[in-house]
Structure 1
Amino acid sequence: MIKAVLFDLDGTLLDRDASVKRFIHSQYSRLNRMVGHVPREEYVARFIDLDQRGYVWKDKVYQQLIKEFHITGLTWEELLQDYLTDFKYHCEPFPNLVPMLEELKSRNLWLGMITNGRGQFQMDNIEALGIKKYFDCILVSEWEGIKKPYPEIFTRALMKLNVSPEQSIFVGDHPENDVIAAQNAGMIGVWKKDLQWQIEVEFKVNDLTEIPLLIKICENGRDF
Structure 2
Amino acid sequence: MKYKQIIFDVDDTLIDFAATEDYALHSLFNKNRWQLTPELQRQYHAYNQGLWRQLEQGEITYEELSEKTFHDFIKENFDLEIDGLKAMEEYRSYFGEAHKLLPGVEDTLKFAKKQGYKLTVLSNGEKFMQRHRLELAGIKDYFDLIVTSEEAHYSKPDEHAFDYFFSRTEISPDQTIFFGDGLQSDILGAEKYGFDSVWYNHRHRKNTLNLHPLFEVENYPQFVKLMQNDFEKKY
Counterpart in 2 of 1:114?
Answer: 122
User: Which residue does the alignment assign to 1:148?
Assistant: 156
Using a 3 Å threshold, how does the CA distance of structure 1 residues 51 and 176 change in structure 2: closer, same or farther? closer
Please tell me whether the aligned partners of residues 174 and 197 of structure 1 are also in contact (alpha carbons under 8 angstroms).
no
Residues 97-146 of structure 1 deviation map (CA, whole Å, 9 limit, x = unaligned): 11111111112210111111233333333333222111111111121122
Q: In the alignment, does 2:222 pair up with 1:214?
A: no
Q: In the aligned structure 1, how far is the partner of 2:150 from the partner of 2:85?
A: 20
Seen in structure 2, the aligned counterparts of structure 1 residues 54 and 174 have a Cα distance that, compared at 3 Å, is same
Match of 1:196 in 2: 205
1:100 is aligned to 108
| Code of the aligned partner of 1:44 | Q
Counterpart of 2:98?
90
Q: Does 1:3 align with 2:4?
A: yes
TM-score (norm 2): 0.79
TM-superposed deviation, 1:61: 2.0
Relative to structure 1, the CA distance from residue 59 to residue 134 in structure 2 (aligned partners, 3 Å threshold; closer, same or farther) is same
- The whole-number CA distance in structure 1 between the counterparts of 2:45 and 2:116 is 39
Deviation at 1:15, TM superposition (A): 1.8
- Aligned AA for 1:40? T
CA contact (8 A) 1:165 1:187 kept: yes
Query: Cα RMSD between the aligned structures?
Result: 2.6
- How far the C-alpha of 1:192 sits from its partner, in A, is 0.6
2:32 alignment counterpart: 31
Instruction: Using the TM superposition, give the Cα deviation of residue 12 of structure 1 relative to its aligned residue in structure 2, in angstroms.
Output: 1.4
- Tell me, yes or no, if the aligned pair for 1:136 and 1:161 is still in contact at 8 Å: no
Do the aligned partners of 2:9 and 2:180 also contact (CA within 8 Å) in 1? yes
What's 2:183 paired with? 175
5+ residue gaps, structure 1, are none
Specify the SS of the correspondent of 1:161: coil
Find out whether 1:78 has 2:86 as its counterpart. yes
- The answer to whether structure 1 residue 128 and structure 2 residue 125 are counterparts is no
Q: Work out which of the residue numbers 37, 40, 60 in structure 1 matches 2:37.
A: 40
Contact residue 100 and residue 137 of structure 2 kept, 8 A: yes
> What SS does structure 1 have at the residue aligned with 2:178?
strand
Alpha carbons of 1:107 and 1:159: their partners in 2 closer, same or farther (altered >3 Å)?
farther
Q: 1:184 aligns with which of 187, 192, 204?
A: 192
1:6-52 CA deviation, whole Å, 9 max, x = no partner? 111122112212211122123233332xx2xx353354334323212
User: What percent of counterpart residues are identical?
Assistant: 25
Supply the AA of the counterpart residue of 1:210: Q
Across the two proteins, how many residue pairs are aligned to each other?
Answer: 218
TM-score, normalised to structure 1, is: 0.83
Contact 1:110 1:161 in 2 (8 A): no
